[in-house]
Amino acid sequence: MLLGGKALAQDAPDLAGGPNWTPPDLSGQSIRMWGLNYAPHVERYQMLISKFQELTNGTVTLEPQDGSSIVSSALTSLASRNPPDVLCLMGRMSDGLVKQGGLTDVRQSVYGDLGIDNAAWWFPEALGAYSWGEAIHGVPVEGNAHSGVSVRLDLVAAAGADLAWPGTVADADLNELNAAFASYEQMFEFAARLQNKGSSPVIWGQNRQGWELLNIATMMEQLGTNWFDEQSGQFAFDSEACVEALQTLVTKPYELGIESKLGLGHVVNVFAAGQAALGIGNDAAAGEATAVGLSATNVVLPSLVAGQAPKFVGEGGWGFEIPVGAKNEAGAIEFLKFMTTYDAQFIWSGIYGGMTPACRPVAKSSIYAGDGPLSQGQRRLHTAGPNTRFMGHGWDPQINEMVQPIVDLLREGKSTPKDTAAELQRQLTAQQQRFARS
């Protein structure tokens, strides 16, 4: 891989399968970029732009966009025939643009031209978020699977040294099996040991509120059932797999007395407030708790299938796309080629102190090499990357917001797992039908 001989990360790991890009001279050329008007993103855009300009002598002009309207603004720019040359957008937010024929397929112009071995270079979830059938409509820069269990280390220390959990496995021995709890039974027993109902506030064994769709889809995947079929547009919530997922998500931990529905909205808030020993559903819980003075790390969720390495379904992350009709498509293609390189991926992955990378070799980089609990947790989470797939395209994004209220009825004892599964199928199918007609 060529980057003008100026590699950012001198400790770069094995780069086999990566792009072979020679930076062109783009003197006198300008590229318009749209991205999210959000400080951590803007900082990364500027770092990437600076490196790209250094390598190519071209000019990139950043035009930050409001997150609530970036998709509609992109659609408007296509209709007015004045789109940006490069667009930074989540893959799962791009269905409407693809449906309108508004994104360029860069499968050959970027990936093929650079000779990238996609299976070796990318984690499957990340690239899947930009793949529609055989077409690839962008370059990913992150993954977002929420495969972790955030753990309060102060509570572990207080509980004693005889606890069985993945946090005792040495870095050199980590693999896809031992970075995770061996079973849900082991995790529930661990949570029970850590909880303290006599404290103020009460410290529950675990909390799993929020991000229910990903939780349910992941457990259904482990049981061999795809939650949503892209070809037919059909959900599979009316299945035994969904019923078992709901039993594990809610019924069992509530019956064991290690979890209760709390009024803080979702797991990140609950965990950071010190009201749960384990936070499940969003890997950011450990970082947010650390930011307020708690000691926390991440390990990996178990599989519902004994002895099986856990599989996960993720929502993918952000990446870079080229709208159809870009004024400088050739320059935009070079920017996306740059974004496939180790150095560009390394730059982005430093966001938030270390985001789940899209590029496999970056997972071995110095970003995640620290000895602190969060860095150790990130290395455990990376073992799940090869077994994580993207959740699929074509479903109505509003469905995300519909799942928690339905599942909350189960938490409140007003429904059963079987009835909850049926209600998910009924309500989400009706919404998907409305979406398909729109």
Q: Are residues 134 and 181 both part of a single domain?
A: no
Alpha-carbon dihedral angle through residues 102, 117, 363, 151, given to the nearest 10 degrees: 70
Q: Are 343 and 357 in contact (CB under 8 A)?
A: no
What are residue 132's DSSP bridge partners?
135
Q: Are residues 306 and 325 both part of a single domain?
A: no
Q: Are residues 137 and 153 both part of a single domain?
A: no
Which band of pLDDT confidence, cut at 50, 70 and 90, is reported for residue 12? low
Q: Are residues 303 and 325 both part of a single domain?
A: no
Which pTM does this prediction carry?
A: 0.93
Tell me, rounded to whole angstroms, the distance of Cα 373 from its chain centroid. 20
Q: Are residues 299 and 337 both part of a single domain?
A: no
Q: Are residues 111 and 211 both part of a single domain?
A: no
Q: Are residues 417 and 327 both part of a single domain?
A: no
- At residue 8, does pLDDT exceed 80? no
More confident residue, 332 or 12: 332
What are residue 61's DSSP bridge partners?
32
Counted domains in the chain: 2
349, 364, 379: which is the final residue of a domain? Answer: 364
- At residue 317, does pLDDT exceed 80? yes
Which band of pLDDT confidence, cut at 50, 70 and 90, is reported for residue 40? very high
Q: Give domain status of residue 375, yes or no.
A: no
CB-CB neighbours of 391 under 10 Å: 25
Q: Are 298 and 286 in contact (CB under 8 A)?
A: yes
Q: Give domain status of residue 123, yes or no.
A: yes
Q: Give domain status of residue 101, yes or no.
A: yes
Q: Are residues 253 and 135 both part of a single domain?
A: no
Q: Are residues 171 and 140 both part of a single domain?
A: no
Per-residue pLDDT at 3: 46
Q: Are 355 and 349 in contact (CB under 8 A)?
A: yes
**What is the percent of the chain with per-residue pLDDT over 70, rounded to a whole number?**
97
Element (H, E) at 235: strand 234-235
Q: Are residues 301 and 216 both part of a single domain?
A: yes
pLDDT digits (tens, 9 = 90+) for 76-117: 999 999 999 999 999 999 999 999 999 999 999 999 999 999
Tell me, rounded to whole angstroms, the distance of Cα 329 from its chain centroid. 29
Per-residue pLDDT at 161: 75
CATH number of residue 220's parent domain: 3.40.190.10
Q: Give domain status of residue 383, yes or no.
A: no
* Residue 219: domain span: 148-314+391-437
Q: Give domain status of residue 373, yes or no.
A: no
Q: At what angle do helices 39-56 and 329-339 cross, to 10 degrees?
A: 110
Per-residue pLDDT at 5: 35
Tokens of 209: 């509120």
Per-residue pLDDT at 11: 56
Q: Are residues 348 and 266 both part of a single domain?
A: no
Q: Are 136 and 121 in contact (CB under 8 A)?
A: no
- At residue 2, does pLDDT exceed 80? no
- At residue 4, does pLDDT exceed 50? no
Q: Are residues 44 and 121 both part of a single domain?
A: yes
The three-class DSSP label of residue 165 is: coil
- At residue 75, does pLDDT exceed 80? yes
Q: Give domain status of residue 20, yes or no.
A: no
Q: Which amino acid is at 238?
A: D
Residue position matching structure tokens 């037919």 = 232
Query: How large is the C-alpha radius of gyration of the chain?
Result: 22
Q: Give domain status of residue 263, yes or no.
A: yes
Q: Give domain status of residue 219, yes or no.
A: yes
Let me know if 10 is exposed, middle or buried by CB neighbors in 10 A (0-12, 13-18, 19+): exposed
Q: Which amino acid is at 283?
A: D
